[in-house]
Amino acid sequence: MKPLAPFRRELLFLIPPLVFLGAFYFYPLSQIFKLSFFSAGDWGTAPLTKLLTAPFFFKILWFTTWQAAVSTLLTFALALPGAYVFCRYDFWGKNALKSFFTIPFVLPTVAVAAGFRALGAFWGFSAPGEGSIWMILAAHVFYNYAVVLRMVEGFWKNIAPGAAEAARTLGASPVKAFVKITLPLLRPVLAAAGLLVFVFCFSSFGVILVLGGTRFSTIEVEIYRQAAHIFNLPAAAALSLVQILFTFPVMWVHAGIQRRSAVPLTPGPAARRRPAGVREKITAALPLGLASLFLGAPLAALAAASVSGPDGLSFVFYRALTQNPADSVFFAPPLESALLSFQFAAAAMVMAAGLALPAALFLSRAKGLWSAFFDPVFMLPLSTSAVTLGFGFIIALDRPPLNLRAGVMLIPIAHALVAFPFATRILLPAMRGVPQILRDAAAVLGASSFRVWRAVDLPAVSRAMVAAGVFAFTISMGEFGAAAFVARPDAPTLPVAIYRFLGQPGALNHGQAMAMSCLLMAFSAAGFLLMDRAGAGWTGDI
């Protein structure tokens, strides 16, 4: 039998990820399109037309858009000074502080919202159920601060300082040198980070659902309400279609910008030094101090709320996590939900890492149009909200050959789909960093393709594999949007259980929600720190 040509053999790497995406991404999306245009059995645009003429639609679309834009601007206002300090200066505890600043990004949105809800209750901003736009914006900045910090700092440190220093020597002020020299070089990464944060805020679900109350609703929240509360599936499908039409082009542009700006501008990083003098020390300390206070306050408020009983410090809420006072058949004790979440996360981790490995292998070896086409294809789940994916699952995966709706596998499949783009992005730089000359040398010495991969590639990417798996596990533990649709009443994940407890009256229910949020926050933070310790936590290339 004639062996496959090298590139044809590499095309085999496409089979696992494309089969998975075809079954659990493109097929559910096609059913959303079908429900939008064939709801009555014949082709028609009635659901979409009815939605576009409804008075509430443009109000929701306008709020979704402007809050995402304002959240993005506020995130840049807080994160850019921090990126400048991390890029320019060295100081004690720098890596630990950067890890702390990154932890909010991996925290579950429900836990973040619960933290801001606890902080709002402490300061008296708003009562539960009323909703606060300021808390929503603050939570979005909290969640996306690390995206801007890591992406911009990772790019900025590779810009040679010579041009800006020459401009300063010729008499330009620091501000003018930045505007004329540095800012134009930063534009690609600023655009990429801005588009990514905008999409994250545009498709925000857990934050709006918990902090928005009855006053504020985005497209994501309305999809959930129309499908889960009103049971108006055609309207939910039409809203999902609108959401897809908004986010797809944005993420496609983002992928193009990332490809064009992926090459470092200099062979090595710019030199960094310790702050000298009072002015530089204040310049470095002020943005980092403000960020530490802003990012730490909700976490501290959440921890305090979880141990604040009627008579002061108490662990009554944690002890109540194992109880079922109502003796309900559909009630799952929170610790059982935590165990289920661990099991789902382990399954999602195996699936996401197992799919990301061949995807990253192909992208690291493909050239030209092949890489340019499949790179954004593998990122498509990132441009589709988890709410839309969960809605697609419940309308598509309820009949043969994919009749999975009655089982429990829908949750880890959905979580693997959400984590797959991130895992691919973590593995890809490690794959591309393996020198081709090592593979060629092993092949010349008679090693088969599999042995070349096992002896050369696998040792080089093993740490990245650990990081990708841990990141997928962490994402699964905190994922809420898809789980809100597909989780069974008697088998909720931990984020779904938190949301249910937050929606119930009584101090005990609220306290248990805070306690579960603290546990979930601890799980997620530990997962990230483990991934960061593996040395392949986050390259900034999302």
The tokens describing 539, both together, are 């390259």
66 residue type, one letter: W
Tokens of 27: 């097929």
Where does the pLDDT of residue 170 fall: very low under 50, low under 70, confident under 90, or very high at 90 and above? low
Residue 387's pLDDT band (cuts 50, 70, 90): confident
Q: Per-residue b/e over 80-119, b at no fewer than 16 CB within 10 Å?
A: bbbbbbbbbbebeeeeebbbbbbbbbbbbbbbbbbbbbbb
For residue 327, pLDDT over 60 is answered with: no
pLDDT value at position 198? 92
pTM: 0.81
Share above pLDDT 70 across residues of the chain, in percent, rounded to a whole number: 84
Is residue 531 within 8 A of residue 466, CB to CB? The reply is yes
Tell me the pLDDT of the chain averaged across its residues. Answer: 79
Please give the pLDDT value at position 77.
94
Spatial separation of the C-alpha atoms in residues 256 and 241, rounded to whole Å: 23
Structure tokens at 14: 């496409």
Over residues 265-295, the pLDDT tens digits come to 444 444 567 777 787 788 888 989 999 999 9
> What's 93's DSSP letter?
T
SS3 string, 283-338, reads HHHHHHHHHHHHHHHHHHHHHHHHCEECCEECCHHHHHHHCCCCCCCCCCCHHHHH
Distance (Å, whole) CA 511 – CA 502: 9
At the fourth CATH level, the homologous superfamily of domain 54-159+189-262 is: MetI-like (1.10.3720.10)
Q: Which amino acid is at 192?
A: A
Supply the pLDDT for residue 351.
94
Establish whether the linkage from the previous residue to 401 is cis, with ω within 30° of 0: yes
3-class DSSP state for residue 398?
coil
- The token pair at 461 is 């990417």
pLDDT of 6 > 60? The answer is no
Mean pLDDT, to the nearest integer, of 335-359?
89
Torsion of CA 359, 360, 366, 372, to 10 degrees: 80
Choose the CATH number for 1-40+318-541 among 3.30.499.10, 3.40.50.2020, 3.40.50.720, 1.10.3720.10: 1.10.3720.10
Highest mean pLDDT among 373-377, 406-410, 470-474: 470-474
Q: Show me where the domains of the chain are located.
A: 1-40+318-541, 54-159+189-262
Number of H helices and E strands in the chain, helices first, is 27, 2
Q: Which of 67-76, 110-119, 209-218, 441-450 has the lowest mean pLDDT?
A: 441-450
Q: Residues 437-486: pLDDT tens digits? A: 777 777 777 777 667 767 777 777 778 888 888 888 988 888 888 888 88
Which of 272-292 are b and which e, b meaning 16 or more Cβ less than 10 Å from the residue's Cβ? eeebeeeeeeebbeebbeebe
How confident is the model over 224-263, as pLDDT tens digits?
888 877 777 788 888 888 888 888 787 777 767 766 655 4
Distance CA 126, CA 153 (A): 36
Do the domains at 1-40+318-541 and 54-159+189-262 have one common CATH topology?
Answer: yes
| Angle formed at CA 283 by CA 281 and CA 289, multiple of 5 degrees | 90
For residues 542 and 539, give the distance between their C-alpha atoms in angstroms, rounded to a whole number. Answer: 8
